[in-house]
A = this chain, B = another copy of it.
Amino acid sequence: MERIDLAEKLNRIPEPWRPRIVGRVNDTDLKLAKLDGAFDWHAHPEEDEAFLVLAGTLRIEFRDRHVLLGPGDLCVVPHGVEHRPVADSGETHVLLIEPAGTRNTGDRVTDRTVEAEWI
């Protein structure tokens, strides 16, 4: 029951592609992340994943098309759908909304797999 200032939290995230948890709503996590460049293709077997762009531009690539998101745009990627987040116009800030325990690299473990920590 505190005020959570997303900009202040983002200032304390030093690196891209390492989401940090800022809130939990029952079994759903609210995570902040900085994105820069292209991530790896992946899918989350059971977890839907919402991206809300706070700053910058995000292209979410699917195997057959893509969506382009700017500040104030939201996209929900359903579970099981392969996707690749790409921020190739500079650093992008997003709020992720997804079930607690969702792995950032989905069904794969790579050198970019991280366990989200609270910030």
* B99 and A26 contacting across the interface, CB-CB below 8 Å: yes
A residues near B (Cβ < 8 Å) are: 1-7, 22-28, 30, 46-50, 52, 54, 60, 62, 67-69, 72-79, 81, 95, 97-99
**Chain A binding surface SS class:** strand
Given A28-B28, A74-B30, A97-B28, residue A23 in contact with residue B50 (CB < 8 A) = yes
A52 vs B6: C-alpha distance when bound (angstroms)? 10
* Closest chain B residue to A48, Cβ basis: B25
Contact A22 to B74, CB < 8 A, known contacts A28-B97, A67-B2, A97-B97: yes
Whether A25 lies near B75 (C-beta < 8 A) is: no
With both chains docked as a complex, state the minimum distance between the C-beta of A19 and any C-beta of chain B, in angstroms.
15
Bound together, the chains give a CA A95 to CA B1 distance in angstroms of: 17
Which 8 residue pairs spanning A and B have beta carbons closest together?
A4-B74, A25-B48, A28-B28, A23-B76, A3-B67, A6-B72, A25-B50, A26-B48
Measured CB to CB, the closest approach of chain B to A21, in angstroms, equals 11
Known: A1-B67, A25-B97. 6 other contacts (CB 8 A): A1-B60, A1-B81, A4-B76, A24-B48, A25-B28, A26-B48
